[in-house]
A and B are shown apart, each in its own frame.
Chain A
C-alpha cells in the first residue's frame, strides 16, 4: 500500500493533520467554540472554489479565504455581543453562497467534489509542501503563544490583567484555525472536518487530566483516528474523511464505556 506515491503523500499529510488539528481543537473546544470550526470548514469550500476558479492552489485559496472568515467572525463579535451564534450563520451563508454560486456557474477548471468528502488520490507534491509549511508555522506560533492562549481560554479577564493582548491573539488564533482547516481538507473533506478538530479533544477530556496531558492524549487519539481511518478506508475503497469521522466517534464511545466500567469496578471494590 505504501509503495504507491499517492499513499505516501496522503500519509505525510495525515501525520501533520493529526498533530495540528487537536492542538487547535483543544482551544476551540475549551472556549466552547467548536461550531466556529464547523463554520470555517464550510467556509473553506468557498476558498477552494475561488482557488480553482483562479487556477491557483485550492489549499492556499482555502487558507486565505478561511483566514478572512475567521477574522470576520472575530470582528463581528464586537457588534453581535449577545447573539454570537448569529455571526456563524452570517459567515456560513456568505461562504456557502459563494461556493455554490461558483460551482453552479460551470466555470471551475477542476472538480470540487473531492474536497467535500476527502480523497487520498488528489494529494499532490505541491499540497505536501503547502501542508508542511502551514503546519510548521502554526505549530511554532502555538508554542510561542501557548500560555497566552491557555489563559484566554481559561480566564480571559485574568489574561487581560496580566497584559495579554486578547484581541490580537484572537485574530492570530483565527488564522491558526484557518491553517488547520486548509491543511486537512484534502484528506478529511469539508463535511466532516470539524470532527477532526473536536472529537479527539472530546475523547481526551473523558480522561480527566490536566491541560498538558489532555493535549497529549488529544494528539494520540487524533493519530489513531486519522491514520486508522486512512488505512482502513484504502482497503474498503471508501472516502477517508467519512470513515475517519466514524472511527473518531467509535473511539470516543469506547473511551466513555471503558471509563464507566472502570468506575463501576472501583465502586464495587469500595
Chain B
C-alpha cells in the first residue's frame, strides 16, 4: 500500500523560529485511509492541515503529498463570505472552469451525489450550515480527487445534516477509495467514522486506531481530569 501524505521531522512555527507549534511530526497517511486529526484548541490541527495543503511552508522538515487532485472543504465558521452574491451553480461552474473540466454535467453529478440537486439556483448565502457544507463537499468532489481534506466539517451543522455528511464521507472513502483527512472537534464522529486517529498534543502527534484511541488517550484524559 502506498502513502498519500508523508511528513518527515516536520517543524513549524509562525515566526520560523523555536518554540515550534509542530515539533518534529512524522506522519504517514496511506492511500484510502480516513484519518481524523484530534487535539486541544491551539495544538496545531489546522496548521498541520494548512501545511499539507501548501498554504504554509514548514520551518524545518518535509511534506510529500502524492495526491494528483486534492478536494478541500473549508470550515464553515472561517468562511465569512456568506453575503457574497453567488448562486450554487455559479460557484460550482466557476470552479469547474478553474479545474479545466469541459463536461458541464459534472455539476449536476456532484450535486446529485450530495443530494442537493434542487438547490443549484439558490444563493449560497441563503443556505443553512448543513446545506452549504454539502455544497462545499460537492465542490471538493469535482475533478475526482484522490485526497479530501476537511476542516471541522460538522461545525455549525445540525445533527441531522452531520449524520448525512459523515455517512457520505464514509461511503466515498470505502466505495471510491478516496483518502480523507479531517480536522475534527467532533470526537464521536471521529471515533465512529475514521479508520485512524491522529492525536496532536504538545507539538507531537500519535497515529492509532479509534479503538486504541478510546482505550488509551480518553482513559488518560479522564484520569487526568479526576486527579
Question: Could you tell me which A residues sit within 8 Å of B by CB distance?
Answer: 30, 147-148, 150-151, 153-155, 157-164, 205, 208-214
Contacts and interface: CB of A to CB of B under 8 A. Distances in A.
Interface string B84-123: 1111011100110111000000000000000000000001
A155 B85 CA distance: 13
Contacts of A155: 74, 79, 81
22 contacts: A147-B94, A147-B98, A151-B98, A154-B81, A157-B55, A157-B74, A160-B53, A161-B70, A161-B72, A162-B95, A162-B98, A162-B99, A163-B98, A164-B98, A205-B85, A208-B85, A210-B86, A210-B123, A211-B85, A211-B86, A212-B90, A214-B85
Interface of B: 53-55, 70, 72, 74, 79, 81, 84-87, 89-91, 94-95, 97-99, 123, 139
Main secondary structure of the interface of B (DSSP, over half): mixed
Contacts, number: 61
Contacts of B85: 30, 205, 208-211, 213-214
A162 B139 CA distance: 11
Contacts of A147: 94, 97-98
Helix, strand, loop or mixed for chain A's interface? helix
Contacts of B55: 157, 160
Q: Which 9 A-B pairs have the closest CB atoms?
A: A210-B87, A162-B98, A214-B85, A147-B94, A147-B97, A211-B86, A161-B72, A150-B94, A211-B90
A160 B149 CA distance: 14
B99 to A, nearest CB: 6
A10 B53 CA distance: 50
Contacts of B139: 158
Nearest to A217: B85
Contacts of B81: 154-155
Given A154-B86, A160-B55, A163-B99, 12 more contacts: A150-B86, A150-B90, A150-B94, A151-B98, A154-B84, A157-B55, A157-B74, A162-B99, A163-B98, A210-B90, A210-B123, A211-B90
